[in-house]
Amino acid sequence: MSLVELTDIHKSFGSVEVLKGISMTMEQGEIVAIIGRSGSGKSTLLRCINGLESVQSGRIQVAGIEATKPGADLNALRQRAGMVFQSYNLFPHLSVERNVMLALRLVQKMSVDEARELAHAMVAKVGLAEKLAAYPDELSGGQQQRVAIARSLAMQPTLMLFDEITSALDPELVGEVLKVLEGVAREGMTMMLVTHEMNFAKNVADRVIFMHEGRIHEDGPARETLLEPRTEELRSFLSAVLH
């Protein structure tokens, strides 16, 4: 059994079909970059994988949990598939330390000391040890996004989903977040990331999936797919984002 298995996923918002039959599998340790035009369904795909959106038909299996079964334990699934959003979504009323500790305490039932220790380690890992007591509004966008990554990693997920996590950042802050991502990748984390950073996709991802109009249009090894696109759609997409 693969870590992620999607079988003929169909997803509509009202009468608009956004995912038109997505099938794919993903193995432990793989790093998959998802690229494609705005509106091609990239975010929706990620959100379906961790159950933030429900699908009309198809089968989703993630880390041994059938998300599409009625009554599936989505909260358990989400502990195994962490997600980081474009807009960071830190909890504004909690300090950095508490942001990271919250789910450890509530979901993983850790003691305060255990949770704090892990939170400190994770925040240090993203290079923000001196910001533990700070509140989100006292941090730059890049710092907030690094905390969001730490918060998700602290749950020790099997798989991480990243949805354009550098897109809301000022250009000079993108680098620090990508560096953290590279670190996470080096440690062997299984990752699926929607990104517009083609160089990052080429250098860090093993595999690239190009989404086009709600379908997987190309799927292959990262360098090869990006350097030698097979379809006209991917070629024109790449020339649009690279120039």
Partner 1 sequence: MIREFSLNDLVFMLEALRWTVGLAIIATIGGGALGIIVAVLRVVAFKPANWLAIGYINLVQGTPLLGQLFVFFFGLPLFGIQVDAWVAASLSLSIYASAFFGEIWRGSLQSVSQRQWEAGAALGLNYWQRLTHVVLPQALRISIAPTVGFLVQLVKNTSLAALIGFIELTRASQIITAATFAPLPVYTTAAALYFIICFSLSQFSQRLERRFHVTR
Ligand X SMILES: Nc1ncnc2c1ncn2[C@@H]1O[C@H](COP(=O)(O)OP(=O)(O)OP(=O)(O)O)[C@@H](O)[C@H]1O
Residues forming contacts to ligand X in the complex (CB under 6 A) are 13, 18, 36, 38-44
Stretch that binds Mg ion, among 27-35, 42-50, 109-117, 140-148 (CB under 5 A): 42-50
Site string for partner 1, 177-216 (x = CB under 8 A): ----------------------------------------
Cα–Cα distance for residue pair 117/68, rounded to 1 Å: 36
Nearer of residues 107 and 241 to partner 1, judged by Cβ: 107
Rule CB under 5 A: say whether 190 interacts with Mg ion: no
Which candidate, 237, 187, 239, 185, places its Cα nearest to that of 207?
Answer: 185
What is the distance between the alpha carbons of residues 5 and 102, in angstroms, rounded to a whole number?
A: 30
* Residues 6+ positions from 77 with CB-CB distance below 8 Å: 50, 51, 62, 63, 65, 67
Tokens for 12, please give them: 């509509």
18 touches, from ligand X, partner 1, Mg ion, none (C-beta below 5 to 8 Å by class): ligand X
Least separation in angstroms between CB 39 and Mg ion = 8
Residue 143 as a binder of Mg ion (CB under 5 A): the answer is no
Per-residue tokens: 212: 């086009």
Distance CA 102, CA 97 (A): 9
Site size for Mg ion, by CB under 5 A?
Answer: 1
Three-class secondary structure of residue 96 per DSSP: helix
Q: Which residues form the interface with partner 1 (CB under 8 A)?
A: 50, 52, 74-76, 78-79, 82-83, 85, 87, 89-93, 102-103, 106-107, 135-137, 151-152, 155
